[in-house]
C-alpha cells in the first residue's frame, strides 16, 4: 500500500522508518543469535500505532529496542506549548491542532562495558493550522555513549556520520555535531551523556525532498557506524569493577532521558501514547551510588574528561 503511494513524501518516510527498523533488527540478531526479538504491534485509539521490537537478556545485548510509530490526531495543549517554546507559531482552530508524527527510534544497551550504548532516532512531523496550511519538519540524530573511551571507535563513528552529512552539505556535520554535544548535556551533572554524534530538529529547509534525502542518508549510516564497533569488542574480557562503572554510567543515561529528553517528554504528553515503547530507552539495569568519584588518571576519569569537554574526532 505504501509502495503504491510512493509519490507522497509521508509514505516514503513511513517506508524508510520500517526499512531502517528491519535492517537494524537483522544486524543485531546476527550478532546475538541466541536471543530473539519480541515483536509487539500496537494501535492507538486516537489514531495510528506502531511496532516495537525489543531484545532482552541476550548474550551480547542486555536490552536492544527498535521502535517505529506513525500516529495522528489532535496535539495536546501541553505538547503544543512545548513546541511553541521552541519558536513554533501554531495557530489552532477552536483550540485544536491536527498532527501527524512518524519515526524510528532505537536504544541499544550491550552487556559488555567495552561495547558502547548507541541511540538513534529519525522522525517527521506535520501540523495543520487553522487556515489549512501545513507546517512540517524533520528531526533526528545518532549518538554514542561508551562506558570507556576508545578513540579509534570514536573516530570511526563520527567519520561515518560525517560522510553521510557531507553528501548533502559540508556545513551539516559540524553544525549537527555541536548541536548533539549541546543537546545531550546533563546540566545538573555538568557532563554530556556520551561522546555525541549528530542531532537536529525542526529542519524544514531547503526543501522537503532535500531534507528527506539527508535523513535517509543518516538512517542508512546507522548500521555501518555502530555494528563494526560491537563486533570488535563483544568478546572483550571485563572485570566486576568495569561492570560496576557501566551501571553507574547507565544511571546518567536514565537521568538525561527522564529529565531532559524532548522525545520522552513529548511522548508522555501525548494522549494514548504507549508508555512501554517510550520508556524502551531505559536500560534493564542501572545503579546510583552516593558520591562516587573515580580515581584520578584512571580509565574512568578519562571518559569523564571527554564528557565534560567534547572533542573534535574527525580533524
Contact 130, 91 (CB under 8 A): yes
Q: Taking the mean position of all CA atoms in its chain, how far away is CA 112?
A: 20
User: Is 119 one of the annotated active-site residues of the chain?
Assistant: yes
SS3 232: helix
Catalytically annotated residue among 119, 156, 158, 233: 119
Question: In the chain, how long is the greatest CA-to-CA distance?
Answer: 62
CA dihedral (304, 307, 310, 313) positive or negative: positive
CA-to-CA distance for 225 and 118, rounded, in angstroms? 10
Contact 252, 186 (CB under 8 A): yes
Q: What is the 3 state secondary structure string of 8-67?
A: CHHHHHHHHHHHHHHHHHHHHHHHCCCCCEEEEEEECCCCEEEEEEEEECCCCEEEEEEE
Contact 253, 283 (CB under 8 A): yes
Q: What is the DSSP string of 54-80?
A: EEES-SSEEEEEEEEEEEEEE--HHHH
Residue 311 grid coordinates: 572533542
* Total length of the chain: 315
Query: Annotated active-site positions, please?
Result: 119
Amino acid at each position: 500500500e505504501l509502495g503504491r503511494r510512493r509519490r507522497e513524501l509521508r509514505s516514503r518516510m513511513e517506508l524508510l522508518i520500517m526499512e531502517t527498523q528491519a535492517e537494524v533488527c537483522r544486524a543485531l540478531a546476527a550478532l546475538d543469535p541466541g536471543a530473539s526479538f519480541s515483536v509487539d504491534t500496537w494501535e492507538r485509539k486516537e489514531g495510528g500505532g506502531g511496532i516495537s521490537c525489543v531484545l532482552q537478556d541476550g548474550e551480547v545485548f542486555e536490552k536492544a529496542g527498535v521502535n517505529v510509530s506513525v500516529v495522528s490526531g489532535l496535539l495536546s495543549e501541553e505538547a503544543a506549548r512545548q513546541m511553541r517554546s521552541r519558536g513554533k507559531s501554531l495557530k489552532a482552530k477552536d483550540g485544536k491542532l491536527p498532527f501527524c508524527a512518524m519515526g524510528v527510534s532505537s536504544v541499544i544497551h550491550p552487556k559488555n562495558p567495552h561495547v558502547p550504548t548507541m541511540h538513534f532516532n529519525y522522525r517527521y512531523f506535520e501540523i495543520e493550522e487553522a487556515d489549512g496550511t501545513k507546517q512540517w519538519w524533520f528531526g533526528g540524530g545518532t549518538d554514542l555513549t561508551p562506558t570507556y573511551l576508545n578513540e579509534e571507535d570514536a573516530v570511526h563513528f563520527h567519520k561515518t556520520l560525517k560522510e553521510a552529512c557531507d553528501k548533502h552539505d559540508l556545513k551539516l556535520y559540524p553544525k549537527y555535531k555541536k548541536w548533539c554535544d549541546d543537546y545531550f548535556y546533563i546540566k545538573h551533572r555538568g557532563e554530556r551523556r556520551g561522546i555525541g554524534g549528530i542531532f537536529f530538529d525542526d529542519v524544514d529547509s531547503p526543501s522537503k525532498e532535500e531534507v528527506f534525502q539527508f535523513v535517509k542518508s543518516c538512517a542508512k549510516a546507522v548500521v555501518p557506524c555502530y555494528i563494526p564497533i560491537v563486533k570488535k569488542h563483544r568478546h572483550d574480557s571485563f572485570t566486576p569493577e568495569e561492570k560496576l562503572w557501566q551501571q553507574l554510567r547507565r544511571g546518567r543515561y536514565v537521568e538525561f532521558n527522564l529529565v531532559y529528553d524532548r522525545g520522552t517528554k513529548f511522548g508522555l504528553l501525548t494522549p494514548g501514547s504507549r508508555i512501554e515503547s517510550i520508556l524502551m530507552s531505559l536500560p534493564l539495569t542501572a545503579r546510583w551510588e552516593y558520591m562516587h568519584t573515580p580515581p584520578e588518571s584512571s580509565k574512568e576519569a578519562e571518559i569523564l574528561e571527554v564528557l565534560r569537554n567534547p572533542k573534535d574526532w574527525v580533524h
